Amino acid sequence: MDLELLYEAIISGILLGCFYAAVSLGLSLAFGLLDVPHIAHPSFLVLGAFATYMLGLQGVDPLLAGLLMMPVFFVFGLAVYQFYYSTFEKRGTDTGLRGIAFFFGVAFIVEVGLIVAFGVDQRLVEAPYIGTSTRFGEMRIPNRMLVAFGVAVLITTVLTIYLAKTFTGRAIKAVAQDEGALRLMGADPVRIKRFAFAIATATCALAGALLIIVGPVDPGLGRLYIGRTFCVVVLAGLGSMSGTVVAGLILGIAESIVLASVGAAWAPAVAFGILLVVLGVRPAGLFGR
């Protein structure tokens, strides 16, 4: 593989990596900080992508559609966590196995529900920045990747600042560190976790819009993103926002190098391969708490 190709693969890997970080942020919150075994996260992303597609049919710009869907997803997240809490965490009986099975079932229902509603075909959206590209010296970069990159950097920054600087953001981090202590301080950990899970779900709306901007989406795509999102979150170390970006970049660059050198057929295995290695060698990830 010559140097020119490698160079291009790294550039597009960086763009892709920021996008992967953005789609993993919600999971980093829900799974990394709240310990919810949220296997349905990628399905919520695909749901966001299809919501964007539906609004796109009415002529709404995909990014605007993603923003518009955020409050809806926020409420949806509140409801999902409330349900999960009252049926599993509150009872405290065997949350592990049944909680996992529950989210697996939800993911499956979303996937098949979308197949029943839309069929198995791939869906696309239209926007001025999709299908065009910009020249940087010798290299042409598709504008859709640039837009995804920009938005990804924006939401990652906003969420990181939110968690570090605001009162609620710090409360979310506190709940992850020591729930019992929070309760002793007179705060309600369940309320904070519900709020955090709702934020995590709301990011799925915008990240889902990015998903359909970056490429065509079909209902089965969620399964591939189980690997990518969990790879990023585990590699980052649970709940680390800056780690999420680094891990996203590692995955993005690795995937685009494999894509350029070995071929597209092997690309899906990259994320899962990295995930397995990380789980086997260092389950705490790069920046584990």
Partner 1 sequence: MGRFVIGALAVLAVLAAIPLWVTNEYFYFAAYVVLQFIVLATAWNILGGFAGYVNFGSAAFFAIGAYTAVALFKAVNLPLPLQILAGAAVSGLLGLGVGLLTLRLRGIFFSIATIAVAIILETFIINWSYVGGAKGLPILRPTDAPLHFQSYLQWLFFVMGVVAVIAVACARYVQTSWLGRGLRAIRDNESAAECSGVPTLQLKLAAATLSGALMGAAGAPFAQYLSFIEPVSAFSLTYAVNALAMPIIGGMAHWIGPVIGAILLGTVQQIVTVTISSELNVLVVGVLLVVFVVAAPEGILGLVAKLRRRVGSTK
| Residue numbers at the binding site for partner 1 (CB under 8 A) | 31, 37, 39, 87, 93-94, 96-98, 100-102, 104-106, 108-109, 111-113, 115-116, 223-224, 226-227, 230, 234, 265-266, 268-269, 272-273, 275-276, 279-280, 283
CB of 118 vs partner 1, minimal distance in Å: 11
CB of 19 vs partner 1, minimal distance in Å: 20
The smaller minimum CB distance to partner 1, of residues 43 and 203, is found at 43
CB of 121 vs partner 1, minimal distance in Å: 13
The smaller minimum CB distance to partner 1, of residues 58 and 93, is found at 93
CB of 262 vs partner 1, minimal distance in Å: 9
Cα gap 289→184, rounded to integer Å: 22
The smaller minimum CB distance to partner 1, of residues 11 and 267, is found at 267
The smaller minimum CB distance to partner 1, of residues 180 and 280, is found at 280
CB of 87 vs partner 1, minimal distance in Å: 5
Tokens found for residue 223: 């399964």
CB of 247 vs partner 1, minimal distance in Å: 15
The smaller minimum CB distance to partner 1, of residues 131 and 283, is found at 283
3-state secondary structure string across the chain: CCHHHHHHHHHHHHHHHHHHHHHHHHHHHHHHHCCCCCCCHHHHHHHHHHHHHHHHHCCCCHHHHHHHHHHHHHHHHHHHHHHHHHHHHCCCCCHHHHHHHHHHHHHHHHHHHHHHHHCCCCECCCCCCCCCEEEECCEEEEHHHHHHHHHHHHHHHHHHHHHHHCHHHHHHHHHHHCHHHHHHCCCCHHHHHHHHHHHHHHHHHHHHHHHHHHCCECCCHHHHHHHHHHHHHHHHCCCCHHHHHHHHHHHHHHHHHHHHHCCHHHHHHHHHHHHHHHHHHCCCCCCCC
CB of 77 vs partner 1, minimal distance in Å: 17
Cα gap 256→218, rounded to integer Å: 21
Contact predicate 81/70, CB 8 Å: no
User: How many Cα neighbours within 13 Å face the side chain of 119?
Assistant: 3
The smaller minimum CB distance to partner 1, of residues 136 and 266, is found at 266
The smaller minimum CB distance to partner 1, of residues 37 and 62, is found at 37
